Structure 1
């Protein structure tokens, strides 16, 4: 899994699998793009306008369960 924030575009990208993106779907009104592989499985997502979800100066905690 790879998580990346781009401050220039204010986009948080979450890549679940390192596979080619076969298709993408924009969720209207939510500012979210889902990326699918050839099997129509979600392999990633982009959250557009990420800063609207985050308070100023707030850190992001990431917890991964194994």
Structure 2
């Protein structure tokens, strides 16, 4: 999984796995979901990220036990 924030476009991208994107869907305004050829979700893009995410410069990752 890769998480990237681009301050020049204020876009946060979460790539769940490397795959060819064959379909993109704007689920809600400013939220784009990318799917592969089987319909599996491969990425999420959030526009205007700094307005929607509390602290775009910090990422916390947890694995539930």
TM-score scaled by length of structure 2: 0.81
The 3-state SS of whatever aligns with 1:18 is coil
Task: Give the number of aligned pairs.
Answer: 65
Unmatched 5+ stretches in structure 2: none
The 3-state SS of whatever aligns with 1:51 is helix
Unmatched 5+ stretches in structure 1: none
TM-score scaled by length of structure 1: 0.80
Matched residues in 2 for 1:43 and 1:55: separation?
24
Name the Cα RMSD after superposition: 2.3
| Match of residue 58 from structure 2 | 59
Matched residues in 1 for 2:60 and 2:48: separation?
19
The 3-state SS of whatever aligns with 1:24 is strand
| Match of residue 27 from structure 1 | 27
Matched residues in 2 for 1:57 and 1:3: separation?
10
